[in-house]
Structures are given as structure tokens and as C-alpha cells.
């Protein structure tokens, strides 16, 4: 989930093509996938031209990522810096296959992170601040290797965070406000180690969050809107402890979310559009409780999404492009229901992606660059089907 990325995420036996991550390309004609052991006949060969069995969705500033259960990654939307990883720079209004063998993905503003099942981390897209960790600043249109033995990662506006399987937090890229947490404001084009004993991280515009294995939340970087959750802290270049008993985190452009172990959602930071969900518009500099019975959270550029235990997706904040799915272009300061029977959701720049419990994928909001594939580049004020529920043949 964007964790903040904004302006200023039974296998078929397939004779598939080589992947973009390995440096080769996907031809236009699909190679066959063999179902139920059948071989050699057209009737036995089925290749989807769209994702099936989607297990995760990730929304960037203007691009979307769709990950199938079998590890196949698809992407659509803006591609100006190569963030789709398809080798080109043309925007995609239909989802295109990018890679296989993928375990997880993260979408930043203009770069994408891909975690392979072997633990290797790859990145593609904007690299102006070194966020791809390859030692340079040249944008990449195919993925380059960043690190090995990685467990999880987060992509921000211009920086990257990742956690190794051993629990070490590393950071690379834009560091103008100390968001890398290395004690400086110097940009880094090679990853630097920040902390140990870490479980997860979240990256916003110019601030970062990380969660330790014992549930403590730390923050660093820009705190100008209160997004660090530390009273009177405008900026910190080293991690500061904020709260405990936390099990999930998410960072937006200028706000932060924390899901505590008791299922309560807490928020702090910028609130101009009501993205903190507290019925007001005043920024907060310490975390305040928003809701209970929450299972999933996602902070977008200027809106917030969270899923309740009963599968209801709730939203608050900016609705100028329909990203809250309420049928109108308006801000919502108190969380409202967006959709039912939801597994997870991802809040992007000015759009939202929704994964249903049945495997269906829905989208709402801005579609300027095709980030809602198949929706004809029109903004959607209510959720529309992007990919239908998985058919039994693919389960």
C-alpha cells in the first residue's frame, strides 16, 4: 500500500516469456498456459490478456500494479519515467504483463519496487534522487536489482525503504528533510542501514515510518504538518519513537496512519481535506483515534482508506476526482462506506484500487493516464469493475 507517493502494491503451468526484470521482453503473442495437464491442442490452451486470481493491488501517484497469486505482475497508467517497467515510456490504458515470480510490489510517485520470491528487490522508473539504489540518477525503464534477502519494502515520493529478512531497515534516495533517517539531509544513491529489529516501513512524500518487531512506531523526516506524530517536531533526521502496540502503518503525502494491536486506527498530520477522518480540517501533531474494528489501512496523497472486520471499505479526505467512490466530487471529513465485501484497498494519488473478497478488482477516481485500465481515461466517481471475479477454471 502507497504508502505515500505523491506530488510535489494452484499456479498455471505456463510456457511464458522471459521477464522484464531479467532484462528480456514479453512478445505480443502469448505463449500457452496448460490447464489440467492437457497439452498440444488449442482447446487446452488458455492465456489471459488480463490478470486473474489477483492477490494484491497497489496504487501510485498515477500508475497501478496488480499481482496475481501465481506471482505474475501487471501494470497500467502513467509511464513517463518508466515506472511500469515495460521497457518504454508510453502510458498504458490496459494492463500489461511485467514480470513473474513476484512476491510483493510497492508503488511510489514515479517509481515501482518489485520483491521477487527469491528475496531479491528490484526497482524501475524515476531515479532522480537515487531511489533505485543503483548508484546513479538515470531513470530506468526496466527493473534493476537493488538488494538481496529482502522481506518488505515501501516506495515514497522520491525515496525507498526496505527491510531485510534479518530485520534490518535500509533507505535510499531523496533525503531533503531527513526522511532516510541517517542523521543527514544528503541524498543517497546507495542504500544505507538505518535500524535493526524492524518489521515494516512506510514512505510518504518527505517523511518515513517504521515498525519494530515488538510493535513500536518510529518516524523521521518532515514533520511540518504534524505527520511524525511528535508534538512540536518540524523535522528530524534520525528516528524518534512515537507510540507502541502498533501492528500496521501507512504514510500519505503529509499524513500518517497507525493500526494498533486492538484494531483501532489512529491518524496524524495534514488534514486540509479531512483525510484524518476526525470531522475537522485542522492538522494534528499527535496521533488521534479515528475508528475501531479495522483490519487494513492505506494512506493516499490526500485521502485515507481502511477496511473494517466485516469487509466494509471506509474512506475519508479528498474526493475531488471521485477517489472516495461516493458518486460526487466532494471532500469527506467523517469516514463513509465506499464498498462492501472487501479484502484490501490501496489509496493512490487521486484514485483508489479495491480488491474484493471474490478476487474482483475495482477502481474509482482519476483515470487521466489509464490507471483504471479499461475505463477510457474518464474519471470515475463510483467504483467500476476493472477485472471481474476469478472464474473457477483459474482457482
Query: How does pLDDT run across 210-260, given as a tens digit for each residue?
Result: 999 999 999 999 999 999 999 767 899 999 999 999 999 999 999 999 999
Residue 374 lies in a domain: yes
Residue 42 has pLDDT above 70, yes or no: no
Q: What pLDDT score does 48 carry?
A: 56
Residue 318 has pLDDT above 90, yes or no: yes
Contact of 106 with 9, CB cutoff 8 Å: yes
Residue 166 has pLDDT above 60, yes or no: yes
Residue 16 has pLDDT above 50, yes or no: no
Q: What pLDDT score does 36 carry?
A: 28
Query: What residue numbers bound the domain in which 307 lies?
Result: 13-394
Rounded alpha-carbon distances, angstroms, from residue 49 to 35, 258, 296: 16, 37, 29
Residue 3 lies in a domain: no
Mean pLDDT for 311-330 is 97
Give me the count of residues in the chain.
395
Q: Say which residue, 261 or 392, is predicted with more confidence.
A: 261
The residues that bridge with 240 in the sheet, in sequence order, are 219
**Lowest mean per-residue pLDDT among 13-17, 297-301, 361-365:** 13-17
Residue 164 has pLDDT above 90, yes or no: yes
Q: What pLDDT score does 74 carry?
A: 98
Give me the chain's average pLDDT, please. 88
Residue 17 has pLDDT above 80, yes or no: no
Position 7 confidence tier, pLDDT thresholds 50, 70, 90: very low
Residue 8 lies in a domain: no
CATH of the domain at 279: 2.130.10.30
Pairwise CA distance, residues 348 & 9, whole Å = 10
Residue 201 lies in a domain: yes
Residue 5 lies in a domain: no
Q: What percent of the chain has pLDDT over 70?
A: 86
Pairwise CA distance, residues 255 & 278, whole Å = 13
Q: How many domains does the chain have?
A: 1
Residue 267 has pLDDT above 70, yes or no: yes
Q: What pLDDT score does 139 carry?
A: 98
Residue 139 lies in a domain: yes
Residue 147 has pLDDT above 90, yes or no: yes
Residue 279 lies in a domain: yes
pTM (2 decimals)? 0.88
Q: What pLDDT score does 376 carry?
A: 81
Residue 108 lies in a domain: yes
Q: Three cell numbers at 388? A: 471481474
Amino acid at each position: 500500500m502507497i504508502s505515500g507517493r505523491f506530488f510535489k502494491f494452484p499456479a498455471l503451468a505456463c510456457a511464458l516469456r522471459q521477464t522484464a526484470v531479467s532484462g528480456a521482453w514479453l512478445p505480443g503473442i502469448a505463449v500457452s498456459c496448460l490447464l489440467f495437464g492437457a497439452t498440444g491442442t488449442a482447446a487446452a490452451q488458455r492465456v489471459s490478456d488480463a490478470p486473474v486470481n489477483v492477490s494484491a493491488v497497489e496504487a501510485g501517484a498515477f500508475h497501478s500494479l496488480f499481482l496475481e497469486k501465481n506471482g505474475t505482475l501487471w501494470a497500467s497508467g502513467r509511464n513517463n519515467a518508466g515506472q511500469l517497467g515495460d521497457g518504454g515510456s508510453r502510458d498504458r490504458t490496459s494492463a500489461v504483463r511485467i514480470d513473474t515470480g513476484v512476491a510483493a510490489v510497492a508503488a511510489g510517485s514515479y517509481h515501482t519496487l518489485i520483491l521477487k520470491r527469491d528475496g531479491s528487490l528490484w526497482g524501475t522508473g524515476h531515479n532522480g534522487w537515487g531511489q533505485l539504489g543503483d548508484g546513479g540518477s538515470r531513470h530506468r525503464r526496466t527493473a534493476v536489482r537493488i538488494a538481496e534477502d529482502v522481506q518488505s519494502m515501501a516506495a515514497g515520493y522520491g525515496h525507498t525503504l526496505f527491510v531485510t529478512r534479518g530485520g534490518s531497515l535500509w533507505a535510499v534516495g531523496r533525503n531533503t528533510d531527513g526522511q532516510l533517517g541517517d542523521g543527514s539531509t544528503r541524498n543517497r544513491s546507495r542504500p544505507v542501514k538505518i535500524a535493526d529489529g524492524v518489521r515494516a516501513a512506510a514512505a510518504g512524500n518527505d517523511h518515513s515510518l517504521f515498525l519494530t518487531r515488538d510493535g513500536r512506531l518510529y518516524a523521521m523526516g518532515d514533520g511540518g504538518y504534524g505527520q511524525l506524530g511528535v508534538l512540536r517536531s518540524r523535522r528530524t533526521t534520525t528516528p524518534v519513537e512515537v507510540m507502541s502496540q502498533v501492528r500496521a502503518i501507512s504514510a500519505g503525502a503529509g499524513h500518517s496512519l497507525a493500526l494498533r494491536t486492538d484494531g483501532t486506527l489512529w491518524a496524524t498530520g495534514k488534514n486540509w481535506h479531512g483525510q484524518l477522518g476526525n470531522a475537522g480540517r485542522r492538522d494534528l501533531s499527535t496521533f488521534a483515534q479515528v475508528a475501531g474494528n479495522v483490519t487494513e489501512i492505506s494512506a493516499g496523497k490526500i485521502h485515507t482508506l481502511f477496511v473494517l472486520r466485516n469487509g466494509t471499505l471506509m474512506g475519508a479526505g479528498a474526493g475531488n476526482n471521485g477517489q472516495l467512490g461516493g458518486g460526487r466530487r466532494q471532500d469527506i471529513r467523517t469516514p463513509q462506506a465506499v464498498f462492501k465485501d472487501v479484502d484490501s484497498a490501496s489509496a493512490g494519488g487521486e484514485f483508489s484500487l479495491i480488491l474484493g473478497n471474490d478476487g474482483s478488482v475495482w477502481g474509482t477516481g482519476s483515470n487521466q493516464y489509464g490507471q483504471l485500465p479499461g475505463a477510457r481515461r474518464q474519471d470515475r466517481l463510483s467504483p467500476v469493475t476493472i477485472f471481474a471475479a476469478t472464474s473457477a477454471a483459474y482457482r
